[in-house]
Amino acid sequence: MHKLNVLVAGSTGYIGIQLVNLLIKHKKVNIKYLCGNSSVGKNISIYDKNLENKKLPKIIRFNYKLLDEVDIIFTALPNGEAQKISKKLLKKNTLIDLAADFRLEKASDYLKWYKKKHKAVNLIKKSIYSLPEISGKKIKKYQIISCPGCYPTSILLPLIPLIQKNLIKKGNVIIDSKSGYSGAGRSIHKKYKNKNLYESLSAYGIGFHRHNSEIEQILNKYIKGKFEFTFTPHLSPMFRGILSTIYVDLNKGKTVNNLYNGLIKFYKNSNFVKIAKLNSLVSTNNVINTNNCEISVCKSKNKNKAIILSSIDNLIKGGAGQAVQNMNILQNFKEYESLR
């Protein structure tokens, strides 16, 4: 059986390790190369004991000659690096990026939010922002696939159907998200060395977190005017998982039941989006180590408001799992291959 040859660049980060763990279970994938910098020459199992005794290549430094030997390039690299690789792609290659290099449609927005000039401006229009449940098979037209950020994934999956069906108002939406510290990468321990990551809860990026731009860009596609929201992320004393609590105002004549039924209908054929019973209290524990997003619609003490809970594993549905899901759709594999 012919297998896809894949390369994972940034293979030793939290997302990269998770990606390797998913890909080694994939029946139609051969992990051809694992790339890193400080880890060159080492076995990836030193970063994850689950990968011991697996037939995996040693870590090498990325070079463009490798593109001739692979079909899919997964990039879990610092922002800006995938843009460099994108300019060297061969016709046979597909780039699936897990960073922010192609999430924004305007180079000016990328400069504004990421403080860097975009290195592949002419390729932005040739890329697609792919939340699989929303973009579906459209990705087959593109050579560059941009995977959404972890926070936006937990936020957009519940909000897009509700906005599309005009069930909620387009203003005064409050989004309170809490993430495990793995979402900040391995450097988190240096960045927050004066904070007790394991016993404290910290707000950060208030008002100006980079994911604001991504959330706004996507939601504005579904309304006339501008979608107004306040997003505040928090770092939680847990390794993985995201729980987003979203407060919305109902449109006139709409009820919490309308929201619940709208989500049930929208995701009735979804492999990975699970709508919990009305007023259920979901937790990250329900989704850890899965590619699922669990959503619950809850009543508020205010008749014209609703509270939506959305939970994902930031390293899988918010990262590596979503990337594999995109690859599966692109290649006409079963969407859930290696994700169950």
Q: What pLDDT shows up at residue 293?
A: 98
For residues 8 and 27, give the distance between their C-alpha atoms in angstroms, rounded to a whole number. Answer: 17
User: Would you list the DSSP string of 250-279?
Assistant: BPTT--HHHHHHHHHHHTTT-SSEEEPPTT
Q: What pLDDT shows up at residue 199?
A: 80
Question: What architecture does CATH give domain 151-314?
Answer: 2-Layer Sandwich (3.30)
Q: What pLDDT shows up at residue 202?
A: 87
Q: What pLDDT shows up at residue 111?
A: 96
Residue 75: beta bridge partners? 9, 97
Q: What pLDDT shows up at residue 188?
A: 63
Residues forming the active site: 150
Domain 4-148+318-330, CATH: 3.40.50.720
**What is the residue extent of each domain of the chain?**
4-148+318-330, 151-314
For residues 52 and 74, give the distance between their C-alpha atoms in angstroms, rounded to a whole number. Answer: 22
Low-confidence stretches of the chain (pLDDT beneath 50) = none
Q: What pLDDT shows up at residue 207?
A: 84
Residue 293 identity (one-letter amino acid): C
Model-level pTM?
A: 0.95
For residues 320 and 83, give the distance between their C-alpha atoms in angstroms, rounded to a whole number. Answer: 19
> For residue 151, what is the enclosing H or E element?
helix 150-164
Q: Which parts of the chain are beta strand (E)?
A: 4-9, 29-35, 59-60, 72-75, 94-97, 127-129, 144-146, 173-180, 202-203, 229-236, 242-249, 273-275, 293-299, 305-312
Q: What pLDDT shows up at residue 198?
A: 75
Rg (CA), the chain: 20
For residues 194 and 292, give the distance between their C-alpha atoms in angstroms, rounded to a whole number. Answer: 34
Q: What pLDDT shows up at residue 182?
A: 87
Q: Which parts of 153-292 are beta strand (E)?
A: 173-180, 202-203, 229-236, 242-249, 273-275
